[in-house]
Amino acid sequence: MLKAFRIPITWRELMKRTVAEVQADNCLGLAAQLAYYFFLALFPALLFMVALASFFPVANLMDQITAALARVAPYEALKLIQDQLVKISQDKNGGLLTLGMIGTIWSTSSGVTAIIDTLNQAYDIQEGRPWWKVRALSLALTVSLAIFVVVAFGLVLVGPTLAEKVAVWMHLGPAFTWTWLILQWPFVFALVALAIALVYYFAPDAEQDFVWITPGSVFATILWVVISLAFKVYAAKFGSYNATYGTIDGIIVLLTWFYVSSLAMLVGAELNAEIEHASPYGKDPGEKVAGENRRRRPRGRARQLRRRRRSAAGRAARRSPAAPHRLGDRRRRPRRGDGDGVLEATRAFQERARVAARQERQPPVVKLQTGPEALFPAAVLDTIRK
């Protein structure tokens, strides 16, 4: 998991590239599209939530859910949700669970389909899967996200009561309960980040390595919490939505909250995409598989490049006929990713090749003789000396 946080560029450069891509991919407009689909999926989700609340042995479950949402949601948006929950809970029509489940899954899957389209644009790729496969993926992601939401709310709502019972049963004392009240929020944060990481992994039409927690999912979760809290304070103390929009101020605030939440998700996706594009082993912009663009060159262009490589290799072999293994260098050749040692190893290899080639080109050394030895044979000289 920690390998995903080994960023090949500096954080400053990464943020500059992410901001540039957010503007280039029109993430502000895509966030508005997601906010619209989230708004359409909200009320079927509330219908299903009310029907599902009867299966949990928790008193005033809907009030506790509303209180949990009040920590991050603006007041006007929360009031709209709460009023709709009251109306749905007072309705005694049958078949609520079945209709709510079908409507929620189908409407929310439309929102997830919009997420798939926007993430494909964030990764600069085009959708190539059939429509039925995209819809099936949207339904699967919808169910998975619903499970994460239920577990997260369960940790917040049912967790304290369960912690008290465990403390009494195992004689742990009140310290265990207080510890759980503190640790439940990191668990919820990890669940939200994991849910966003699943969306980032399955939604784009690209081959990726699965990582439980990614820098983009963590950044998107933190950004969502910060933006939601800031927007809540602004809407409560500085916003005048009631004077501007009248009776629909709650709808406007809710749509704005969905908008900033969608923008946080898209920024996290752009962050992950820029990290992968900057990595020497990652995908380039527009690639679904690493190296896909290099393998899809036109046939004539690929043949021309192969000829150039072969001719360049032949010229290099003629200049330096001694290969590395002929020089006795049995060590591993430098590979991509070795760092600064690649340059030194390459220079040392080139120097050894130049020395070997220079030695082969030198003519043999002939020792010239001078004096009587050059005029008379050795036997005549021996006779004269005697």
Q: What is the pLDDT of residue 59?
A: 56
Classify the C-alpha dihedral 138-143-147-150 as positive or negative: positive
- Which of 89, 67, 81 is CA-nearest to residue 250? 81
DSSP 54-66: TTS--TTHHHHHH
Q: What is the pLDDT of residue 254?
A: 82
Q: What is the pLDDT of residue 310?
A: 52
Q: Helices 174-202 and 131-157 meet at what angle, rounded to 10?
A: 170
Instruction: Tell me how far apart the alpha carbons of residues 49 and 62 are, in angstroms, rounded to a whole number.
Output: 9
Instruction: Tell me how far apart the alpha carbons of residues 132 and 142 are, in angstroms, rounded to a whole number.
Output: 15
Q: What is the pLDDT of residue 326?
A: 37
Cβ–Cβ contacts within 10 Å for residue 279, how many? 14
DSSP code at position 35 = H
Contact in structure between 240 and 219 (CB atoms under 8 Å): no
Q: What is the pLDDT of residue 267?
A: 92
The four Cα atoms 242, 245, 248, 252 give a dihedral, to 10 degrees, of: -90
Contact in structure between 189 and 164 (CB atoms under 8 Å): no
Q: What is the pLDDT of residue 321?
A: 45
Q: Enter the pTM of the model.
A: 0.63
The 3-state secondary structure of 263-307 reads HHHHHHHHHHHHHHHHCCCCCCCCCCCCCHHHHCCCHHHHHHHHH
Q: What is the pLDDT along the chain (386 residues), one digit of tens a residue?
A: 445 556 777 888 888 989 998 888 888 888 888 888 888 777 777 766 666 666 655 556 666 667 767 766 777 777 777 777 776 666 655 455 555 567 667 777 877 888 888 888 877 788 888 988 998 898 888 888 877 877 777 777 667 777 777 777 777 777 777 777 777 788 888 888 888 888 888 888 877 777 777 888 889 889 988 888 888 788 777 666 767 777 777 788 888 888 988 899 899 988 888 888 787 666 666 666 655 554 444 444 455 555 555 555 454 544 444 444 333 344 444 444 444 555 566 677 777 777 777 666 665 555 555 555 555 566 666 766 66
Contact in structure between 200 and 268 (CB atoms under 8 Å): yes
Region of residue 337 (phi > 0: left; psi between -120 and 50: alpha; otherwise: beta)? left
Q: Is 340 helix (H, G, I), strand (E, B) or coil?
A: coil
Q: Long-range contacts for 139-145 (Cβ within 8 Å, ≥24 apart)?
A: 139/105, 139/109, 140/202, 141/109, 141/112, 141/115, 141/198, 141/199, 141/202, 141/203, 142/105, 142/108, 142/109, 142/112, 143/105, 144/195, 144/198, 145/108, 145/112, 145/195, 145/198, 145/199
Q: What is the pLDDT of residue 322?
A: 44
Q: What is the pLDDT of residue 377?
A: 62
Q: What is the pLDDT of residue 295?
A: 47
Who contacts 232 (Cβ-Cβ below 8 Å, separation ≥6)?
72, 73, 74, 75
Q: What is the pLDDT of residue 256?
A: 87
| Identity of the amino acid at 157 | L
| Identity of the amino acid at 379 | A
Q: What is the pLDDT of residue 231?
A: 81
H helical segments located in the chain? 11-24, 27-53, 61-69, 75-90, 96-122, 131-157, 159-169, 174-202, 215-237, 241-245, 249-278, 292-295, 299-319, 341-361, 378-385
Q: Report CA Rg, the chain.
A: 35
Q: What is the pLDDT of residue 55?
A: 61
Instruction: Tell me how far apart the alpha carbons of residues 236 and 326 are, in angstroms, rounded to a whole number.
Output: 78
Classify the C-alpha dihedral 162-165-169-171 as positive or negative: positive
